């Protein structure tokens, strides 16, 4: 297929581009490069700088490349920043996504996979989280993603859009061949932060909250390897149906605490990593992990890279080779 990957120079988008070209698809990567990196984009793909909020410019390039389906990773994705600058989040994540849908409409593209998030569940009433739990996001970031889920559902009903909105848990790791990895600036994800301590780029790891009702008192999250995640996208693309939306959790189904992650990083790097215990951060639930049952049952997908040290090891290989990122 001819597939456009919007946000294709970002962390997850660049892994999707690589997977798609390796599976024989023709890929057009689109990004503003606001947070992405030109060098993250596989050279076998075509790359163009475009803002998905510019309907006319986006439609023109989608038409030129005869695009048949879109994977939409582009977003502003810092939960904390979304609290202090909500308009930025509603503009980029909601308004610019509507502009992208306009471009799809103009060019007759009906297939879409959209990055949603477990942040749409907010503080869930139970774990593991199943897709039918009430979605009650507690940040503008989570709200913006839930709004898009609902807009897509309405567009499916009204216009025959065929879409999937996988809800990611914590995406981690790097391509197993070491070619691309994670380079967020600033970095807010736990595994890269801990590995930056191992590289001597930070003095310590802050542990926010050690009094949670979890076995070691620290927060528990579900870490899914980025390659497993993008493979799920390809399967979802093959299962899209006109007028329907597919909603699935993308997680491993197992939770690891902050201390588990630090221990795994110490084991993988062979270094002792200093920590500093701080107060809880507002809005950090004690435990978030997926039930991955629905996607296994209905699509046949489950994560293959489930060993925490392998996930951390892939990230470490990339960080060691690219200590200053791209």
Ligand X SMILES: NC(=O)c1ccc[n+]([C@@H]2O[C@H](COP(=O)([O-])OP(=O)(O)OC[C@H]3O[C@@H](n4cnc5c(N)ncnc54)[C@H](O)[C@@H]3O)[C@@H](O)[C@H]2O)c1
Active-site positions read 141
Rounded to an integer, what distance in angstroms lies between the CA atom of residue 33 and that of residue 23? 25
Residues 6 or more apart whose CB falls under 8 angstroms from that of 37 comprise 9, 14, 183, 325, 326
In the list 3, 4, 6, 152, the residue contacting ligand X (rule: CB under 6 A) is: 6
Residues 241-300 within binding reach of ligand X (CB under 6 A): none
As measured in angstroms, the least distance from the Cβ of 157 to ligand X is 23
Rounded to an integer, what distance in angstroms lies between the CA atom of residue 29 and that of residue 45? 7
Is position 147 an interface residue for ligand X (rule: CB under 6 A)? Answer: no
The H or E element containing residue 47 is strand 46-49
Backbone angles phi, psi at 79, to 5 degrees: -55, -45
DSSP string, 176-208: TTSS-----SS---HHHHHHHHHTTSSS-EEEE
Is position 143 an interface residue for ligand X (rule: CB under 6 A)? Answer: no
Is position 51 an interface residue for ligand X (rule: CB under 6 A)? Answer: yes
In the list 52, 62, 79, 232, the residue contacting ligand X (rule: CB under 6 A) is: 52
Lay out the site mask for ligand X across 78-107 (x = CB under 6 A, - = otherwise): --------------x---x-----------
Angle (CA) 144-146-150 rounded to 5° is 115
As measured in angstroms, the least distance from the Cβ of 184 to ligand X is 6
Is position 170 an interface residue for ligand X (rule: CB under 6 A)? Answer: yes
Is position 228 an interface residue for ligand X (rule: CB under 6 A)? Answer: no
In the list 35, 139, 269, 314, the residue contacting ligand X (rule: CB under 6 A) is: 35
CB-nearer residue toward ligand X: 103 or 198: 103
The H or E element containing residue 111 is strand 111-114
Q: Is 149 helix (H, G, I), strand (E, B) or coil?
A: helix
Q: Which strand ranges, in their side-by-side order, compose the sheet holding 249-250?
A: 116-117, 167-168, 249-250
CB-nearer residue toward ligand X: 135 or 170: 170
Is position 181 an interface residue for ligand X (rule: CB under 6 A)? Answer: no
Residues 232, 301 contacting (CB under 8 angstroms) = yes
As measured in angstroms, the least distance from the Cβ of 211 to ligand X is 25
Is position 314 an interface residue for ligand X (rule: CB under 6 A)? Answer: no
| Interface segment toward ligand X; rule CB under 6 A; list 49-57, 62-70, 252-260, 268-276 | 49-57
How many chain residues touch ligand X (CB under 6 A)? 28
Closest residue to ligand X in the complex (CB) = 10
Rounded to an integer, what distance in angstroms lies between the CA atom of residue 113 and that of residue 32? 19
Cβ atoms within 10 A of the Cβ of 108, count?
A: 10
Q: Is 94 helix (H, G, I), strand (E, B) or coil?
A: helix
Which spans of this chain sit near ligand X (rule: CB under 6 A)? 6-7, 9-13, 31-36, 51-53, 73-75, 77, 92, 96, 115, 117, 168, 170-171, 184
């Amino acid at each position: 297929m001819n597939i456009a990957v919007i946000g294709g120079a970002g962390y997850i988008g660049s892994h999707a581009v690589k997977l798609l070209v390796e599976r024989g698809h023709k890929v057009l990567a689109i990004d503003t490069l606001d947070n992405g990196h030109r060098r993250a984009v596989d050279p076998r793909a075509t790359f163009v700088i475009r803002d998905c909020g510019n309907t006319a410019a986006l439609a023109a390039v989608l038409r030129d490349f005869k695009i048949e389906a879109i994977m939409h990773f582009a977003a502003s994705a810092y939960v904390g920043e979304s609290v202090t600058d909500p308009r930025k989040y509603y503009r980029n994540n909601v308004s610019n996504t509507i502009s992208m849908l306009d471009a799809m409409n103009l060019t007759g593209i009906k297939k879409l996979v959209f990055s949603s998030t477990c942040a749409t569940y907010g503080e869930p009433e139970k774990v593991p989280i199943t897709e039918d739990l009430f979605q009650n996001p507690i940040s503008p970031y989570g709200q913006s993603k839930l709004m898009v889920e609902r807009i897509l559902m309405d567009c499916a009903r009204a216009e025959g859009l065929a879409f999937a909105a996988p809800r990611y848990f914590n995406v981690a790791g790097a391509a197993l061949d070491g070619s691309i990895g994670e380079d967020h600036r600033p970095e807010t994800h736990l595994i890269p932060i801990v590995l930056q301590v191992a590289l001597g780029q930070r003095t310590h790891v802050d542990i926010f909250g050690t009094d949670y009702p979890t076995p070691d008192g620290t927060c528990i999250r579900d870490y899914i390897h980025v390659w497993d995640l993008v493979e799920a996208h390809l399967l979802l693309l093959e299962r899209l149906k006109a007028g329907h939306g597919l909603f699935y959790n993308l997680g491993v189904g197992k939770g690891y605490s902050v201390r588990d992650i630090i221990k795994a990083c110490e084991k993988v790097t062979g270094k002792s990593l200093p920590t500093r215990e701080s107060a809880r951060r507002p809005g950090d639930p004690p435990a978030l992990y997926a039930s991955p049952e629905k996607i296994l049952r209905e699509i046949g997908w489950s994560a293959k890279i489930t060993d925490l040290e392998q996930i951390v090891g892939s990230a470490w290989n990339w960080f060691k080779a690219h200590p200053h990122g791209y």
